[in-house]
Structure 1
Amino acid sequence: MWYDLFDPITGLPFVETPRSLMLTLNIDWFAPFDSGYSCGAIYLVCNNLPRTDRFKTENVILIGVMPGPKEPSTYEINSYLEPLVDSLLRLFNGITIPTYQEPNSTLIHAALLNIACDIPAARKVGGFTSHNSTRAYHKCTREFVVFPGTSNLDYSGIIIDREHGLRTHASNAPAAAQWLEARTQAARTRIERETGTRWSQIHRLLYFDLIRSVLIDPMHNLFLGTADRMVGIWREHGLLTNANGFDMQKLADGIVLPPGVPSLNRKIERKFGFMTAADWKAWCLVYSPFVLKDKLPAAHLNNWMNFVDACCIPSKTSITYQEIDDAD
Structure 2
Amino acid sequence: MLTLNIDWFQPFNGVTYSCGAIYLAINNLPCSERFKKENVILVGLMPEPKEASTSDINNYLKLLVNELMELYKGIKIKTHQCPNITSIQAALLMVACDIPAAKKVCRFTSNTSTNACHKCKHQFSRLAGTSSVDYSGFDFSKCLLRTKNDNHKNAEIWRNATKPTERQCLEVTHGVRWSKLHRLQYFDIVCCTIIDPIHNLFLGTARRMLERWVANGLINNKKLIAMQKAVEKVVLPPNYMSLGTKIAKGFPYMKADEWKSWCIVYSPVVLRMCCHCQSSRTG
Q: TM-score, normalised by structure 1?
A: 0.78
* Match in the other structure for 1:105: 85
CA RMSD of aligned residues (A): 2.2
1:49 counterpart = 2:29: yes
* Match in the other structure for 2:269: 290
* Match in the other structure for 2:200: 221
Given the superposition, is the C-alpha separation of residues 25 and 268 from structure 1 closer, same or farther in structure 2, using an over 3 Å criterion? Answer: same
1:32 counterpart = 2:16: no
Q: Which has the higher contact order (CA 8 A, sep 6+)?
A: 2
1:79 counterpart = 2:59: yes
Separation in 1 of the partners of 2:28 and 2:272? 43
Separation in 2 of the partners of 1:133 and 1:244? 40
Separation in 2 of the partners of 1:112 and 1:299? 49
Separation in 2 of the partners of 1:299 and 1:212? 42
* Match in the other structure for 2:98: 118
* Match in the other structure for 1:7: none
Aligned counterparts, 1:47-196, within 5 A: 47-160=27-140, 165-196=144-175
Could you tell which deviates more after superposition, 275-284 or 150-159? 150-159
* Residue 158 of structure 1, CA deviation: 3.0
1:277 counterpart = 2:256: yes
* Residue 298 of structure 1, CA deviation: 6.7
1:234 counterpart = 2:234: no
Separation in 1 of the partners of 2:276 and 2:16? 40
Separation in 2 of the partners of 1:95 and 1:288? 49
* Residue 252 of structure 1, CA deviation: 1.5
Separation in 1 of the partners of 2:140 and 2:226? 44
Deviations 1:135-157 (A, max 9, x none): 11111111111222333322233
Given the superposition, is the C-alpha separation of residues 154 and 298 from structure 1 closer, same or farther in structure 2, using an over 3 Å criterion? Answer: farther
Aligned length: 279
| Paired residues of 1:139 and 1:167 also in contact (CA < 8 A) | yes
| Paired residues of 1:75 and 1:198 also in contact (CA < 8 A) | no
Q: 2:243 aligns with which of 236, 259, 264?
A: 264
* Residue 132 of structure 1, CA deviation: 2.1
Q: TM-score, normalised by structure 2?
A: 0.90
Separation in 2 of the partners of 1:49 and 1:256? 28
Given the superposition, is the C-alpha separation of residues 161 and 245 from structure 1 closer, same or farther in structure 2, using an over 3 Å criterion? Answer: closer
Separation in 2 of the partners of 1:300 and 1:229? 22
* Residue 238 of structure 1, CA deviation: 3.3
| Paired residues of 1:75 and 1:199 also in contact (CA < 8 A) | no
Point out where structure 2 has 5 or more consecutive residues left out of the alignment. Answer: none
Point out where structure 1 has 5 or more consecutive residues left out of the alignment. Answer: 1-21, 302-328
Q: Residue 190 of structure 2: SS of its match in structure 1?
A: helix
| Paired residues of 1:115 and 1:215 also in contact (CA < 8 A) | yes
Q: Residue 287 of structure 1: SS of its match in structure 2?
A: helix
Given the superposition, is the C-alpha separation of residues 87 and 291 from structure 1 closer, same or farther in structure 2, using an over 3 Å criterion? Answer: same
Separation in 2 of the partners of 1:100 and 1:240? 57
